[in-house]
Structure 1
Amino acid sequence: MLIAHLSDPHLRPRGQLYQGVVDSNAMFAAGLAHLAALDPRPDLVLITGDVVEEGTAEEYAVAAEMLAGIGLPLLVIPGNHDEREAFRACFAAHAHLPATGPLHFVVGDHGPVRIVALDVTVPGEHHGDFDNAAAIWLEATLAAEPERPTLLMMHQPPFASGIHYIDEYNCRGGERLAAVVARHANVERVLCGHIHRFMQLRFGGTMLLTAPSTTTAIALRLAPEAEPASYVEPPAMLLHQWRPGTGLVTHFVPIGCFPGPFDFF
């Protein structure tokens, strides 16, 4: 099973730039074009939040139009820049989304790997929170199919990255989440967005990954006194391939056209 994973497109109304600097819509369009050219075609596409920048109806109209031609099963969760009810309306055709409350869901009909989505966003805030209600839901959901390989997708990562100005807005309750995940050995990966960089670490007895953004990258500044900043680095996505006997292999995939192919390896 092949799963494409994009994150944080921060789409804007037509003609407007993200943060007044970059054309996030064009960069996401390039990501979708790269996705369409993959061979073999993915079985499923994930987007781990911040679909739009300000949560407006105009931005979600852009998102709906851009995603309409994707031609692949699509699972999307909200991020802190999304507006929960406008997001729910935009993706109303996604029957797995709940009609009220947090947008947790589970989908298992696209292949051998089950996808569990956890909405840790806090409306009106930029940090996330894995609260007691979310813990009860996740425990029951993971326990329902204990032998099936599972990916857990969420937006804000539940750990401190070392970049202090983004860590202020991580997902609180990370120790509680790690404890739940540790009780379920079938969780192959925890997949996050939000941080606009690729990172990986062991978490709850499994691996946690953050996906790069299709737009800007948060500056990798690890000094405690570092000023917040971003760069327009090459956009990228992740590609997760699950095979029996091997499990999940994750590839970091730059988006764009590059010299090659050459006849050496």
Structure 2
Amino acid sequence: MLIAQISDPHLRPGGALYQETVDSNADLVRAIDQLNRFSPQPDLVVLTGDVVDNGSPEEYAVARDLLRDLKAPLLVIPGNHDERDAFRAAFHDHAYLPPDGPLHYVVEFGERRVIALDVTIPAEHHGFFDDAAEAWLQAALMAEPDRPTIIMMHQPPITTGVPYLDDYRCLGATRLAACIAKAPGVERVLCGHVHRLMQMRFGGTLLCTAPSTTTAIALRIDPAAEPASFIETPGFLLHDWRNAKGLLTHYLPIGTFPGPYDFA
């Protein structure tokens, strides 16, 4: 099973730019085109939040129009820039989404499963793994604790050393890690939000964050650093789950580059 992870496209109404600087809609079109040309095709694409920038119906209409061109099946979860009710209405035909409350869900793929954990808080940038989320996740994991599993969420529950990102992390990390550690089948925790590739051990498994399909948040680890972003080469992750021994994660930049050349 091949799973592509895209994140944080921050789509805007037609003709509008993300942060009045970047055509994030065109960036997603390029990402989708690259995914559609990839061989072999991904079996699944997961989009780990911040589908749109302001949570407006106009932005979600753009999202549905662009994502319609994606060949592979799609799983989505909201981020802090999404508006939960508008998100639910926009993806009403995605039967895995619950009809009310946080957008937690479980989707099974043969012996494997993907668990989506919605830790967003309306009108806030940080996430929170609260009592209700803990009860839901523990029940989902303990139903089959050894089953090969990916958990997808938006805000990572880790400190990155980037001061303006750590203010917006998912709180409740200690009990989230303890919950995950009880389920040895968890292969990855997949997050978005930070617009960069990061990896860290968490809850007895590996947590990784995906880059954005648009801008990259600056890697500034000075405690006094001011928030900043760059227009770097965007990218996505490809999680190769074809080997029974585990899951292998690749980073792929989005774009057209010189090559291929006949050497390796």
Common fold: TM-score over 0.5? yes
2:106 is the alignment partner of 1:106: yes
Aligned to 1:34: 34
Instruction: Give per-residue Cα distances to partners, 1:76-108, cap 9 Å, x unaligned.
Output: 000000000000001000111111100000000
Aligned to 2:2: 2
Alignment-mate amino acid for residue 225 of structure 2: A
For residues 1-265 of structure 1, the aligned pairs below 5 Å read 1-109=1-109, 111-265=110-264
- Percent identical pairs in the alignment equals 62
- Give distance in 2, aligned partners of 1:60 and 1:129: 24
TM-score, scaled to structure 2: 0.98
- Give distance in 2, aligned partners of 1:243 and 1:47: 20
- Give distance in 2, aligned partners of 1:146 and 1:160: 27
Can you give the 5+ residue segments of structure 1 that lack an aligned partner in the other structure? none
Instruction: Give per-residue Cα distances to partners, 1:103-126, cap 9 Å, x unaligned.
Output: 0000003x4421000000001111
Aligned length: 264
Alignment-mate amino acid for residue 70 of structure 2: I
3-state secondary structure, aligned to 2:189: strand
CA apart distance, 1:174: 0.6
- Give distance in 2, aligned partners of 1:245 and 1:116: 19
Instruction: Give per-residue Cα distances to partners, 1:178-235, cap 9 Å, x unaligned.
Output: 0001111100000000000000000010000000000100100000001110000000
Can you give the 5+ residue segments of structure 2 that lack an aligned partner in the other structure? none
Alignment-mate amino acid for residue 197 of structure 1: R
Instruction: Give per-residue Cα distances to partners, 1:167-186, cap 9 Å, x unaligned.
Output: 10110001110000111110
Alignment-mate amino acid for residue 80 of structure 2: N
Alignment-mate amino acid for residue 49 of structure 2: G
3-state secondary structure, aligned to 1:4: strand
Mapped contact 2:188–2:205 kept (Cα < 8 A): yes
Please, which moves more after superposition, 47-56 or 137-146? 137-146
Mapped contact 1:113–1:242 kept (Cα < 8 A): no
3-state secondary structure, aligned to 1:99: coil
Alignment-mate amino acid for residue 82 of structure 1: D
Mapped contact 2:145–2:182 kept (Cα < 8 A): no
